[in-house]
Amino acid sequence: MIRQILLHLPTYPDRTPLQGLESAAFLAQQLGARITAQIPQLSDDPKSWPPVIGTFPLDFPQMMNEAVAISQANAANLAKDVVEACASFNVALDMRRGLTTFLGAPDALVDLGRLHDLTVMSLPTLDSFAHDVIQTAIFGTGHPTLLLPSGNGARPLRKLGKVLVAWDYSREAARTMADALPILARAKEVHILSVFGEKGLKTTCVASDLEKYLAAHKVQHQIDQVTIKDGTIGDCLLSHASEIKADLLVMGAFGHSRLREFVLGGATRTILSESRLPVFLSH
């Protein structure tokens, strides 16, 4: 069950778009869930600013003060917008505003995420330190993460018509499917996609075992199979999602530990950098 949703709303360098707030509110409405909106605002304490390496820029304090001012304005606007979004979808809201550092450790996000069933975040339009925060949420909370694309061509989550589930019989895929069951049960169509060609799908199960599992959870579904000829698994998933006009992609988040940090697998990196539709991930 998904009853508590954590909506993480960064305030710098960019704020979460309005469509991201409405997407989270829509999903909470569909699931009968509450939203906790976490709004971290940059601290104006110079002690919290990043250290300067090399020659000290004369305008560095001004640059930081401008960043703080942007963060403060974004925090105020986000607080207003999330209240309105939740009210329009009749969703209960708990507001959490706090201070953070410029390159703040995501401890507050991870700690609160561990006490919520799902964390919702926007994907940044550019590669930035925000990706490190997202990666930490995926591997650190112990719960699934829903990533909402932003920028030109990004698709909001406004319906659960078609949901595409990446399935390769792995532990990550099984965990993700189980976590997504409340959403899959509400979708009109669920496409279970297995991709062949790049790697073997090792299992002693047969397709009917998967069908029995989904039927037991009242998930209306069909099984799709694709063989890769060119490109990667990530490219194949996005292409198939576009082909069937999926509203949501559900997939396992793959990664391996290196120096106590998780490094994303190739397909996961592709999805995070190129997806224009919402992505539900678990590890």
In the chain, where the domains are located? 4-148, 162-282
CATH hierarchy code of domain 162-282: 3.40.50.620
Q: What's the average model confidence in pLDDT over 15-33?
A: 95
- 155-to-31, 48, 209, 247 alpha-carbon distances in Å: 20, 36, 33, 8
Cα distance between residue 241 and residue 164, in whole Å: 6
- pLDDT band at 259; cut points 50, 70, 90: very low
Alpha-carbon distance 26 to 30, whole Å? 6
Query: What is the per-residue pLDDT for 55?
Result: 57
Please check the confidence at residue 265 and state whether its pLDDT lies above 60: no
Q: Tell whether the model's pLDDT for residue 247 goes beyond 50.
A: yes
- Taking the C-alpha atoms of residue 206 and residue 256, their distance in angstroms, rounded to an integer, is 28
Asked if residue 23 lies in contact with residue 148, where contact means CB atoms within 8 angstroms, the answer is yes
Judge contact between 249 and 277, C-beta under 8 A: yes
Whether 162 has a pLDDT exceeding 50, the answer reads yes
Question: With pLDDT > 70 as the criterion, what percentage of the chain qualifies?
Answer: 87
More confident residue, 63 or 262: 63
Whether residue 59 is predicted with pLDDT greater than 90 in this model: the reply is: no
Q: What is the pLDDT of residues 138-147, one digit of tens each?
A: 888 999 999 9
Measure the CA–CA gap between 250 and 213, rounded to whole angstroms.
17
Q: What is the pLDDT of residue 53?
A: 56
Task: Quote the pLDDT of residue 142.
Answer: 92
pLDDT above 60 (res 261) = no
Half-sphere CA count of 231, side-chain side, radius 13 A: 15
> Does residue 54 sit in helix, strand or coil?
coil
How many residues can be counted in the chain?
283
- What's the CATH superfamily of 4-148? HUPs (3.40.50.620)
Q: What is the pLDDT of residue 57?
A: 59
Task: Provide mean pLDDT across the span 215-230.
Answer: 88
Lowest mean pLDDT among 72-76, 193-197, 246-250, 257-261: 257-261
SS3 sequence, 149-210?
CCCCCCCCCCCCCEEEEECCCCHHHHHHHHHHHHHHCCCCEEEEEEEECCCCCCCCCCHHHH
Report the candidate in 254, 280, 82 with the shortest Cα–Cα distance to residue 182: 280
Question: How far is 193 from 236, CA to CA, in rounded Å?
Answer: 10
268 sits in the region (left: phi over 0; alpha: psi -120 to 50; else beta) called alpha
**Predicted local confidence at residue 262, as pLDDT:** 39
Q: Provide the residue type at 202 as one letter.
A: K
> How many beta carbons lie within 10 A of that of residue 227, not counting itself?
10
Tokens of 170: 């792995």
Ramachandran sector of residue 90 (left: φ over 0; alpha: ψ -120 to 50; beta: rest): left
CA distance 42 to 69: 9
| Averaged pLDDT, 65-89 | 95
Q: How confident is the model at residue 14 (pLDDT cuts 50, 70, 90)?
A: confident
The helix (run of H) or strand (run of E) holding residue 21 is: helix 18-31
Give the amino acid at 16.
T
User: 4-148 and 162-282 share one CATH topology?
Assistant: yes
Structure tokens belonging to residue 115: 């006490």
Question: What's the mean pLDDT when you consider all of the chain?
Answer: 86
pLDDT at 120 over 60: yes
